[in-house]
Every structure is written in structure tokens, then in C-alpha cells.
A = this chain, B = another copy of it.
Amino acid sequence: MLDGNQMIRWMRDLWDYPRSLTGHGTRQTLEYLKNLNPDLNIHSYKSGTKVFDWEIPDEWNIYDAYIEHESGKRFAEFSKSNLHILGYSVPCDMEILLPELLSHIYTQPNQPDVIPYVTSYYHERWGFCMSENDKRKLPDGKYRVVIDATKSPGTMEIADLVIKGQSSEEIFFSTYICHPSMANNELSGPVLSSALMQYIKSQYIKPRYTYRFVFVPETIGSITYLSEHVKHLQKKVVCGFNLSCVGDERAYSHVESRIGNNLADNAIQAAFIGLKNTATYSFLERGSDERQYCAPGIDLPLCGFSRTRYSKYPEYHTSADNFDVVTAEGLDGSFDVMKSIIDAFEMKLFPKINVKCEPQLGKYGLYPTTSQKGTKPADTWTRRDVLAYADGKHNIFDIAKKIKKNIKLVVSEVTILEKHGLITSFDTAQ
């Protein structure tokens, strides 16, 4: 069954692959995702390639890393946690004394129990990440530092999958695949995208819209993808979401687009109505690939979707971001939100009433036949409010926001009203 439990199983399989911007861990990750959706395409980009203001970095492969005290005791062993290695550390095999070693140790002093996640993609460094507590226990003396890695010309991988619809207009989803063993930031995103792809293919034989899913290393990957596809995307994408940190059970979060009122912004607001603990962040609080997709001159109609937003939960970017944070229920919540938006797009967006004045709902069995105060079921209000705003000018997301009812309820009422011939829906405003 396609649900949060399934996604948790996928995440557990993917947990140990040593992901980074590049390298075998990321490739393994994409191969695994291709097994879930075999029509996924994996594209390789040569390091050194210029992409807008950036350059694709050398490929980094990490095989092993540890610090060994002269006593033989080992610390910060990569084999125990991917996070122990500073991302993109240069290879290293040397003996040094504790004081010098310490300048290469990264900790999160305000969270002394956890290993922080630290990287240095674009400046040559080596380093290890440890808990502050473990760092303090490092004995005096000589250490051997071993980083069995390569950093050299190679490739960076990006994957995408396009589900062709009746229209060439696209709904776009992006998520990232460059973080090592952390659950919410990041594995929640790729498994949600994978589930959504399976959902669409199973639910809609030939969907109305074309759906594009993209898996990229964050920042450099989205920039690379845009550098190749920006014109196509600007022409075709009508709505998109950057999926990040979508697996915990806390908030439902919307990171607004740069300008803040595109179709994606409206869709997500319509899908949040009635949910508990929702949060809306302006673009000033962006942090994931919406930074690129909404950059000035790019301006895809996309926004960010999270449960608790990156940076806003204490386990973020540490070893504590694990399966205590991400749960099947948390993933199901995100899955529901995204499915409700997809299901809305699979309706024609602009419902328009077929009769003048209110229809006589009673004769369709859609309204009570006696009139007494306080006796009308609450949902007849939704029905009448959908009709009141089904003017062919408000799309279903606008209607949901206007009448303050979740998009699922609006879609369900539009479906009923269409069935009775009271509404016809259109692709565009009438």
C-alpha cells in the first residue's frame, strides 16, 4: 500500500548511502529511486561545467574516514555515521597532535549530544564532525587522521521523470538528494516525490496536466537543471512545489514565492484550510531550492512546502534528524496535502454555474425540504458557497480560500454539482 509506512521503508533502505553533491552515494540513491519508478531518467553533468554564475564542482567520493589516537582508539568513524565527515573533505592521511586536530573538529556547542552536519563544497578543507561531548573527551596525544576519499574531475547526477498529460502544461515538483543520513532534511522529500509519481500513474491513466519531478543536489543541482531547462520551464510550468522536510508531524508550512501570490501559493493555502498548526513564511525566510526557482528573472510559479520548515526544528542538520522526527503519519500528512492539490488540478480549474440565480437544490436531493432555523446541515453551506463563487472567474483554489473550506471539500462538491449538471468546469477563466 502506498502510504507513510511504505515511505518509511524506502527511507530505511536509503539511510546509509553516503550522499553528497556528487559521488557513489548519490548515484546509489538515484538508482534506488529508479527502481521505484523505472521511468526515472538519470543525467550526468561533467564537473567544471559552467552553470550560470556557478561551476559544477569536482566529484567527491568518500569511502572511509576516522581519527585514530596513538592508543589505537578510533573516533568520528565514518563507518558509524556518515555525518562524521565534513562534506567534501579533501583526502588525508597524516599524524597530528590534539591541538591542531581540534581546529578541524566541528561541533554544535548548543546541542552537545548531536553530530552536526557541516560541508565545505567550494573551499578546500578537511574536517570531522562530532558531538561537543565527544570532542571534549578526546585524549591528549598524537592522532592519525585518515580520510579515504577522492575529489577529482567526474560527474554530478540529476534525475527527472515526466508523466505526460493531455496538456503540455506542467505541474513541477523538485526535491534534493545531497544530504547524508538525515531523515526529515532530506530523505522525506525524495520518498514523497516517489510516492506522488506512483500515485499519479496509478490514479490517472492520462492525466490532464503533465507532471515533472526533479531530484537534484540542492542549489548547484537546481541551478544546473535551470541552466538547461529554464526556457522550457518558464513556458510550461503552471504550478510547482519544492519539497523539503516533509516527514514530521508538527506544522504544515508554506514558504511563499518571491512575489507571493502565484498559483502554487494559492493552491497550498487552499490545501491548508482546516489543518491544525499551519505556518506561512515569506520568501525572506526561504532556504531551499525555491531560492533558485523563484530567483528574479527565473520566477517559476512555485513555492516551498514543508511540515516543520528547515531550520525551524531543533534536530535540523544534526544526527538527531532521524526516525524519531519523521514518521509514517507525518509523511501521510504531506502526501494528503499534495494529493489534494493534484486532484484539484485534475479537475478543470474554473467551475461555472449553469443556471441563473440559485438552483433549486431540493429537487436534486441536495437540500432539505423543510425550512426551519437551526436545522440545515452545515455542509449545505459549502455546497451553496461553491455555487455562489462558481462564476467562471474564480478557480477552485480561489473558491476554497474565499469560502474558507479545504480544497478537498471544494473538489468533492464541484464533482457532485457537475454530476447534477449544475456546474460545468473550464480550463481557463470564462
Seen from chain A, the residues whose Cβ lies within 8 Å of a Cβ on chain B are 52-55, 86, 106, 108, 110, 116-123, 125, 219, 222-223, 226-227, 230, 258, 283-284, 286, 291-292, 295-299, 311, 316-317, 352-353, 355-360, 362-363, 369-374, 381, 385, 387-392, 403-404
Contact = CB atoms under 8 A, between A and B. Distances in A.
Contacts of A299: 391
Contact of A356 (B297, B353, B357): B297
Contacts of A362: 122-123
Given A120-B369, A120-B370, A357 B226 contact: yes
Contacts of A116: 372-373
Copies of this chain held together in the complex:
3
A-B interface, 7 closest residue pairs, ranked by CB to CB distance from nearest: A296-B391, A123-B369, A53-B355, A53-B359, A118-B372, A292-B357, A317-B373
Contacts of A284: 381, 385, 403-404
Given A230-B356, A355-B53, A360-B54, A120 B371 contact: yes
21 contacts: A52-B357, A53-B355, A55-B360, A86-B370, A106-B370, A106-B372, A110-B374, A117-B372, A118-B371, A119-B371, A123-B370, A222-B357, A230-B356, A291-B358, A292-B357, A296-B353, A296-B388, A296-B391, A297-B353, A297-B356, A317-B372
A360 B390 contact: no
A118 to B, nearest CB: 4
Contact of A52 (B117, B356, B381): B356
B296 A390 contact: yes
A348 to B, nearest CB: 16
Contacts of A373: 108, 116, 311, 316-317
B296 A389 contact: yes
Given A283-B388, A373-B311, A385-B284, A357 B120 contact: no
A197 B125 CA distance: 53
- Highest count of chain B CB atoms <10 Å: which of A222, A284, A390: A284
Nearest to A362: B122
Contact of A296 (B117, B219, B392, B403): B392
A386 to B, nearest CB: 11
Given A122-B363, A297-B353, A353-B297, A292 B369 contact: no
Contacts of A108: 372-374
Given A284-B404, A385-B284, A295 B357 contact: yes
B292 A358 contact: yes
Given A284-B381, A292-B358, A295-B358, 20 more contacts: A52-B355, A53-B360, A108-B372, A116-B372, A118-B371, A118-B372, A119-B370, A123-B369, A219-B358, A226-B357, A258-B389, A295-B353, A295-B356, A295-B357, A296-B388, A297-B353, A298-B356, A298-B357, A317-B372, A317-B373
- Highest count of chain B CB atoms <10 Å: which of A53, A299, A363: A53
A359 B122 CA distance: 13
A122 B369 CA distance: 7
B122 A360 contact: yes
A117 to B, nearest CB: 8
Contacts of A106: 370, 372
A347 B364 CA distance: 48
A205 to B, nearest CB: 33
- Highest count of chain B CB atoms <10 Å: which of A123, A292, A317, A374: A374
Contacts of A369: 120, 122-123, 125
B297 A391 contact: yes
